[in-house]
Structure 1
Amino acid sequence: MASAIRGSRVGAGPMGEAERGDSIARAYVSYFCANGHEVRPSFAVEETVVIPAEWDCPKCGYPAGRDRNNPPSPVKNEPYKTHLAYVKERRTDAEGEKILEEALRKLRGDDED
């Protein structure tokens, strides 16, 4: 059986840069996290490419900055709050008791509305 593409064979590697197109110039930027890890992602060297001030460390997940001696501090994650926790932040116990009494009166039919 003949190959579908003349002059190639199954398992053949890439044809070369001429067939793939020219590669663009790259710049490697060092980022440092609070655990001392260094990350070196590469960015295209173009006027439209903006190099970010921070990058996430793939080893520990902390944010990494460009200053080795002053890396950004880790993000503090707030624990999950229930709906009741948010309500307690907005209402005092006295307000909660008043709202509860109004709701119970409505349920019992004691409300004159």
Structure 2
Amino acid sequence: MSTILIVEDELLIALDAEMTLQDAGFEVVGTAATEDDAVTMALEARPDLMVLDLRLADGGCGRRVAERVRTEIKVAIVFASGNLDPAKKRELDPLDPVAMLSKPYDGPELLRAVAAA
């Protein structure tokens, strides 16, 4: 797993995730805050993995990003959300995420999730 796209609409969380991943030797191919930007960037950059927030700017949805992107490319998914209750996890299971992170998450949690891919 070498290239990662971060899809997160909270700037500080996105920057922290980007620095954590880069410091660990991963290549972050970009960050996106909206659903459409995330899909466009994913299809252009073709990352190995996406770290996807579930709630995005402009009413976007990380689940829809995963569904749209996976019709075109094979990509591992790590979902992140402040609301990962058991029902939400069951809803996301069919997308076969490698991990689901509850916000706020820290650097070591993110790296463990990425390593699971």
Flag the structure with higher strand content.
Answer: 2
Structure of higher CA gyration radius: 1
- TM-score by length of structure 1 reads 0.19
Flag the structure with higher helix content.
Answer: 2
- TM-score by length of structure 2 reads 0.19
Instruction: Determine which structure has greater relative contact order: mean sequence separation of CA pairs < 8 Å that are 6+ residues apart, divided by chain length.
Output: 2
